[in-house]
Structure 1
Amino acid sequence: MLSRESITWLFLLLALAGSLWGHQALTPQWKEQSYLYETFQSEQGRLMYRHKGETHVIDELVHYHQSPLRQAALDKQVDTPALSQQWVEKADGEIVLLKADFHFGLWSLLPAFVTIALCLISREPIIALLAGIVSGAFLMGQFDITDKVLIPSLGTESAAAILVLYLWLLGGLTGIWAKTGAAQAFAQTMTVHFVRGPRSAKVVTWLLGVIFFQGGTISTVLVGTTVRPIADKAGVSHEELSYVVDSTASPIACFLAFNAWPAYVQAFIFVPGVAFLATEADRIAFFFSAVPLSFYAILAVTGTLLMSLNVFTFSGKRLRQAHDRAAVSGQLDAPTARPMSSGELHKVTVPAHYRASMLEFLLPLVTLLGIAVGTFVFLGTPKVNWAFGAALLLAAAMALFKGMSLENLLDGFGEGLKSVVVASIVLMLAITIGGISKEIGGGLYLIDLLGERLPFWLLPVTLQLITMIIAFSTGTSWGTYAIAFPLAMPLAWVIASDQNLANPELFMAICFATVLNGSVYGDQCSPISDSTILSAMTTGCDLMDHVKSQLFPATLAASGAAGLWTLASLLCR
């Protein structure tokens, strides 16, 4: 029988051979993409448009039927179109920006498939991500992987944000907490006064996830960093802890939507001629009206609470086995686990003369949460870098004030950086593979499959499945929104109109909720998602143990939601 390593190498060689063949044999299929912006006439009579708060001039406007980027022209296109984008005016007077994107059919899913398959086979996310990146680059005919693929991707603002936040700020803060013993002191205090065992520790984790409902990486980092010392002290298995952290991140943000999500999503759900989606205010109101239909998010958060209360009926055997293992043997990880965070942060290296204080953990944490929430309230977006930076400076200042030497402080900071280097590399490679998947049209191909006419009651679940696959393959819910919503919402409106539904607005809200929640499921369960990676990293869990253990309860919640969306759609007839 072939070893795991042999299977990994064989699969990798087949993937690279397939991508090289695809580069030679495949022809891109070009697709018209239409983008609607707010357009207006300036005082000088020039046509302008707004994008991300800035105004820009529209230099040239042509009629739609004259554009080489319309679908009828693209159907005859073999080579790359001469224009990358063009402003056009349609017959009804609507002004839109046309772009041409392409996909390679089923082959567009190759990088994502290679990455996910190798994650499952080799349990080495770095190797899997690099293999996916190389196969995608070869498929596009790009063979200079270092200079033309990795460096441009890692030189982006997103990659820089990962280095600053997750490597320097997060790693440095947790390293200082470990060096001062503040995290252990906080855990001991919570254990004495509130946490009485694994169940109460998990409930505290669940409550913090609900309270900090910004979703995604923000929630996972803040909650995971806060509860890790408490849960370790109480004997909570890392699989359970990472599941609670991950399942109260993006799911809670779907229905406690007082965050950045509505403002981001509304930009993608405009449908020409649909009155209740006409303005930005209308679209945000539509988002909130669809909140009660976020069945997956509701079921996922409810199921997580039940698991926190040690009700494992809907959690699957992996989480139950992890709970039993920790309870019987005290082992927080499986024997074969390879936790993403290294052991530096879990060793007690407090200098002999130093006396740890709970306040050294609590005050930086309150500062962190206060700045994150306060900037969201007053500025409209949480400034997480500010929050972690201030917490790091406060923790360092308190340690120095209490007599810790600068040498010991920097030693703790350095140990903290070591603990998150691997996870930071994985995150940056995940950004690269997501960009490649988008560039070769993986998500566009999946949405294109919906071109055939569907019974109205089947569309919600179809959209759910498609977005689950896209988000799982690319590791991003927000990226999936940008791909799926502009195509799914017009499709839903056409089907509602053609099949004469009595309540088209409800049907649209159902389809909207399936895209929103299906993307969250795929992102939550994907081994290349930043929130999945960070949930494992901040809780000290093996990445694939986290992915496998949460797959059953998340899929069970998604299945229940699919049934509820189908029943709800039948009410629209």
Structure 2
Amino acid sequence: MRKTNYTFLFSTIALMAVLFFISYGAPATIDAETYKPAVYSTIASLLPPVIAIGLALITKEVYSSLFVGIAIGALLYANGNLELMLNTFLFNADGGMVTKLADSWNVGILIFLVILGIMVALMNKVGGSAAFGQWASQNIKTRVGAQLATIGLGVLIFVDDYFNCLTVGSVMRPVTDRHQVSRAKLAYLIDATAAPICIVAPVSSWAAAVTSSVPKGIDINGFSMFLNTIPYNFYAICTLLMMVLITVLKFDFGTMKIHEDNAVKGDLFTTVDRPYGDGEDNNDKPMGSVIDLVMPVAVLIVCCIIGMVYTGGFFKGESFVDAFAGADASQGLVLGSTVTFFFSFCFYMTRGVMSFKDFAECIPAGFRAMVAPIMILTMAWTLSGMTGLLGAKFYVHDLVAGSAGVLKMFLPCIIFLVAIFLAFSTGTSWGTFAILIPIVCNVFGSADTHEMLVISIAACLSGAVCGDHCSPISDTTIMASAGAQSNHVNHVSTQLPYALTAASVSFVGYLVAGVLGYTFGNATALLALPVCLVLMFITMLVIRSRVRRAD
């Protein structure tokens, strides 16, 4: 272990020294409006996230890997000037860690996380989670039933992916544990019903984000564009189908199979690490009942929806759809979770299942349970900021625009791959389609290419979700690990083969859709969706056959 740690340390120092000498030469003081680093808008601008992700997968250590990625990004931005590097790392107005933590949107997400952590601790303390587990054990008889119930709950909570990840995890974890479903598999089920559901749900924070990313200069409004992309969102649809098929056909592949085989033998984690231990339910004789879990969760869902449409101006005359399109997801989730927090206090006190002292003890316990995802989110946001400072989005813009001239029928495939790479490198779906959607609209802006515009934007959304699923620095991936209380690297490594399988099928779908849409236009490209579904079904049957032969 010591040898590995020293190797990691010396390799990092050597890498930063090389980058220092390569990029040395920044002035001590700069004009923030005109200054550009030597690697600005070049392939080197993607080095920080690529290095961070590579180190995380090699060392199985997320925190130090993210830290190194941020430090390398700051060093590249500073062109080797150590004073400027330190200031960039901490205080840069567009990417510094302090700035990211001062951002009201980010702080809102952190507060939402903490309140959800407290809510989980409260439900555990009163025995709501244990009572639900006992109820579920009487009504959910099989491992397949437990997994399908998890999928069903994930589909029902379509408002926001953060909310989805933590709520589904806290509610279904006792059930899946009883039926010996591994924590890695639970994390996958949570993650696969978070972003893929939100990206095809018209009433969600993702719909609002996509709507706001569509420029006003085209001949269709953002929300209508989002609705048109739903049947072309192949990755999301294929992921949902694959998840159901794997569950119903009772097989797993890749490293997930190892985790599931171990879970059947009694080891839900496979690895030594037992994360988020403070969030476990240790109440052997719960005073509460199922209503102590169901009622707060139901109130949380309703309040979060109301909070989001409130921020979008619903109570000032806006329509429900327009209010959701203009909602501030962070502010709405904080409002909804805060109201639920006070409701839970009154509800539990009225029922007499908890003392004030117990309630107060759950507040720091819930906070401690969320320290790990808060740390990772903070560094992931900062790393994303560093890629912005280095002009990564402009490099990607040039990459896509340069391929648009003679390959328009293949552009959906190209956009899909670029979106995967960008989301994987930066860890953000929203940032990815915020960058790529305006570019796509500029490429396909005329009325006679409307179908290709819709297909290409759908490819962008699909690629963003896929890259988000594959990336260890993605906030949604981190949330899924937290919700399942699974080792984060275990979740990433077990989900990756599943995500790549769905991505491969989706790539074929965009190839077919691009050719049909460019050649014939109109709705003929919709033939690609049945192609994807049939191909995914056949792929799952082939994989299951090979897995069973290997056994």
Query: Of 392, 409, 413, which aligns to 1:461?
Result: 413
How many residue pairs are counted as aligned between the two chains?
486
Amino acid at match of 1:332: L
Amino acid at match of 1:362: V
Q: Percent identity?
A: 25
Q: C-alpha distance in 2, partners of 1:417/1:264?
A: 28
Query: Of 220, 234, 249, which aligns to 1:295?
Result: 234
Confirm or deny that 1:419 pairs with 2:364.
no
Partner of 1:552: 497
Amino acid at match of 2:282: V
Secondary structure of 1:357's aligned partner: coil
Are the counterparts in 1 of residues 41 and 393 from structure 2 also a CA contact under 8 Å?
Answer: no
How far 1:546 sits from its partner (Å)?
A: 0.5
Residues 506 and 311 of structure 1: CA distance in aligned 2, closer, same or farther (over 3 Å)? farther
Confirm or deny that 1:172 pairs with 2:118.
yes
Partner of 1:444: 394
Secondary structure of 1:334's aligned partner: coil
Q: C-alpha distance in 2, partners of 1:81/1:422?
A: 33
How far 1:206 sits from its partner (Å)?
A: 0.7
Q: C-alpha distance in 2, partners of 1:239/1:310?
A: 18
Partner of 2:110: 163
Amino acid at match of 2:74: A
Query: Of 193, 198, 219, which aligns to 1:278?
Result: 219
Where do residues 184-203 of structure 1 align in structure 2 (5 Å cutoff)?
184-192=130-138, 194-203=139-148
How far 1:82 sits from its partner (Å)?
A: 6.4
Q: C-alpha distance in 2, partners of 1:21/1:510?
A: 45
Amino acid at match of 1:293: Y
Partner of 1:322: 259
**Bigger radius of gyration, 1 or 2?**
1
Confirm or deny that 1:372 pairs with 2:304.
yes
Residues 464 and 263 of structure 1: CA distance in aligned 2, closer, same or farther (over 3 Å)? same
**TM-score with structure 2 setting the length:** 0.81
Cα deviation digits, residues 525-555 of structure 1 (max 9, x gap): 2111111001000111111111111111111
Query: Of 267, 281, 289, which aligns to 1:357?
Result: 289
Confirm or deny that 1:232 pairs with 2:177.
yes
Cα deviation digits, residues 168-207 of structure 1 (max 9, x gap): x012111122222221111111221x21122111101111
Partner of 1:517: 462
Cα deviation digits, residues 93-125 of structure 1 (max 9, x gap): xxxxxxx99934111011111210111122121
Are the counterparts in 2 of residues 212 and 219 from structure 1 also a CA contact under 8 Å?
Answer: yes
Cα deviation digits, residues 42-93 of structure 1 (max 9, x gap): xxxxxxxxxxxxxxxxxxxxxxxxxxxxxxxxxxxxx979679xxxxxxxxx
Cα deviation digits, residues 250-307 of structure 1 (max 9, x gap): 11223233334344324433385xxxx3253xx4323222221111111011111122
Partner of 2:48: 111
Q: C-alpha distance in 2, partners of 1:411/1:563?
A: 53
Q: C-alpha distance in 2, partners of 1:249/1:124?
A: 25
Confirm or deny that 1:308 pairs with 2:236.
no
Amino acid at match of 1:319: M
Residues 511 and 387 of structure 1: CA distance in aligned 2, closer, same or farther (over 3 Å)? same
Amino acid at match of 2:98: I
Residues 261 and 170 of structure 1: CA distance in aligned 2, closer, same or farther (over 3 Å)? closer
C-alpha RMSD of matched pairs (Å):
2.9
Are the counterparts in 1 of residues 422 and 467 from structure 2 also a CA contact under 8 Å?
Answer: yes
Are the counterparts in 1 of residues 110 and 374 from structure 2 also a CA contact under 8 Å?
Answer: yes
Q: C-alpha distance in 1, partners of 2:475/2:40?
A: 25
Query: Of 385, 388, 404, which aligns to 2:354?
Result: 404
How far 1:347 sits from its partner (Å)?
A: 4.3
Partner of 1:137: 74
Secondary structure of 1:200's aligned partner: helix
Amino acid at match of 2:359: L
Query: Of 201, 207, 214, which aligns to 1:256?
Result: 201
How far 1:2 sits from its partner (Å)?
A: 9.8
How far 1:413 sits from its partner (Å)?
A: 2.6
Amino acid at match of 1:368: L
Partner of 2:343: 394
Q: C-alpha distance in 2, partners of 1:545/1:82?
A: 42
Are the counterparts in 2 of residues 270 and 278 from structure 1 also a CA contact under 8 Å?
Answer: no
Amino acid at match of 1:165: F
Q: C-alpha distance in 1, partners of 2:177/2:250?
A: 20
Residues 491 and 403 of structure 1: CA distance in aligned 2, closer, same or farther (over 3 Å)? closer
Partner of 2:128: 182
Are the counterparts in 2 of residues 162 and 427 from structure 1 also a CA contact under 8 Å?
Answer: no
The answer to which structure has the higher strand fraction is: 1
Q: C-alpha distance in 1, partners of 2:361/2:261?
A: 37
The answer to which structure has the higher helix fraction is: 2
Partner of 2:537: none
